[in-house]
Amino acid sequence: MAERNSSASSLVVISRKSFFCLFTFTSLLFIMSWFFVLRSSGRPQFIDHRLLPSSKQFFVTENDNTKTRVLDNSVGNRSILRDNKGEGGGEEEETPEKLVDVKCSAGNKQVLKVFMYDLHPEFHFELLDWKALGESVWPDIRTKIPDYPGGLNLQHSIEYWLTLDLLASELPGSTSAHSAIRVSNSSDADVIFVPFFSSLSYNRFSKVNPHQKKSRNNLLQEKLVKFLTAQPEWKRSGGRDHIVLAHHPNSMLKARMKLWPAMFILSDFGRYPPNIANVEKDVIAPYKHVIRSYLNDKSNFESRPTLLYFQGAIYRKDGGYARQELFYLLKDEKDVHFSFGSVQKGGINSASQGMHSSKFCLNIAGDTPSSNRLFDAIASHCVPVIISDDIELPYEDVLDYSQFCIFVRTSDAIKKNFLINLVRSIGKDEWTRMWKKLQEVENLFEFQYPSKEGDAVQMIWQAIARKVPSIKMKINKSRRYSPFIPHKDGDRGLSSVPTPNNFW
């Protein structure tokens, strides 16, 4: 009996040991399985992460020295570029005063490859009274560049500068750094450029002459839509990779409803429903300022006697109602200039002198959210005070406007004494900081030929380039089912998008 009890005890001990070993083994197996699950879900090994964009870093090269800049979203909803400092890529916390501005660099950027249609000259330089010789489509820019009309025409002239820049990229021996180059094969291109001077067409040819049923502007739009939608490049992408310029708010009024898949280059979205144009798909470009730049600016807080400056149309519709409200609130303030003005009778010279001698310049929404006045203020180093709730700004994905502009909600601005008290509360040191920042960023808004690093022409090309991955994704997604579904001729053509009842 004792022997049997001893055997039973031994079996119990053995079973307990076996159970403990089994439990330990199972636990280790469970922990290891979770480790591999977490590791695989955190970093899939079948994706080459070197090909993926980093959400934190933005690399630049200056003078062959590589620096790392970090996109920091800490200031409101605007991203700010700041340098990584310290060894090992460590980040140093920076105050707003230390924020680094965006700069172009020929050494680091991916050059945008652009296929440009050889449109008939009637769509572009013939609108400038240039006459083609023989079969030539483009002017010989090595000998003479057609002049663009001055005055307010200039503010929407970006189509002219971008087209010249692409033509210049083909010149042999060109030493200029280009953000975009023209390619001859559309299959090699990132985007397809449509060289229609739509703003100029509207400004000069939108009226119907007595012997015409349609204006020249409308006829050109109709011809353009017919041409584009028949091209293999348009059919291949559904127009998604096409660049269409419509910077004047009234340009492309007919064509925009048929060309809506394309990327529009606009001044704002004020006269577009969101299904036709939006910040995800399109690019906001600056106006070309019409007042003269403030060269060799030696002014300071004390030498600019006017506190707040506005000169322009006062009675506007839509979002511009705030102009007349502010006029009545500010017209009697002793150091405020708020008056009606136009480009006629020396208006541009008067505005130049006024902005150059003012500390702050009002930029109030008019018939649309944006106006050229903002870019006139930047060129004058007059700190912009922006009162336009729906405004969209150029390159705002890489440029923090709050460093050199003051934003005021319309509902606050029209409260009695709110705006004037706000502006008076900004002291010399804060104003001087913003004044210096304006001088640092003003080149980002300069249009010139030939283009130079960091000017408006190259900044627009770079803004387009940042949209290219999104364009390619949309094109690829649109092709998911196309190989297996038969299409009738014309199925991939464009149909008009219905205009909302309140569009105008």
467 and 408 assigned to the same domain: no
**Measured distance CA(469)–CA(121) in Å, rounded:** 32
Residue 491 lies in a domain: no
194 and 329 assigned to the same domain: no
341, two tokens: 């003005």
Q: At 313, which CATH number?
A: 3.40.50.2000
Residue 247 lies in a domain: yes
pLDDT at 26: 63
179, 458 in Cβ contact below 8 A?
A: yes
pLDDT at 367: 87
∠ at Cα 241 (235, 246), nearest 5°? 110
194 and 313 assigned to the same domain: no
**Measured distance CA(474)–CA(471) in Å, rounded:** 5
Per-residue pLDDT of the chain (504 residues; tens, 9 = 90+): 444 444 445 544 445 555 555 666 666 666 665 544 444 444 433 333 333 444 333 333 334 443 433 333 333 333 333 333 343 444 444 444 444 445 444 445 689 999 999 999 999 999 999 999 888 999 999 999 999 998 888 999 999 999 999 999 999 877 678 899 999 999 999 999 999 999 999 999 999 988 889 999 999 999 999 999 999 999 999 999 999 999 999 999 999 999 999 999 999 999 999 999 999 999 999 999 999 999 999 999 999 999 999 988 887 666 568 888 999 999 899 999 998 866 656 678 888 999 999 999 999 998 899 999 999 999 999 999 999 999 999 999 999 999 999 999 999 999 999 999 999 999 999 999 999 999 999 999 999 999 999 999 999 999 999 999 999 999 999 988 876 666 554 455 555 555 554 444
**Measured distance CA(139)–CA(161) in Å, rounded:** 14
**Measured distance CA(364)–CA(408) in Å, rounded:** 10
43, two tokens: 């970093």
Residue 22 lies in a domain: no
147 and 212 assigned to the same domain: yes
240 and 144 assigned to the same domain: yes
Provide the residue range defining the domain that includes 248.
112-288+457-478
Assessment of whether the complete model's pTM goes beyond 0.95: no
pLDDT at 87: 39
β strands within 40-93, DSSP E: 57-62, 65-75, 78-83
310 and 441 assigned to the same domain: yes
Maximum Cα–Cα distance for the chain, whole Å?
128
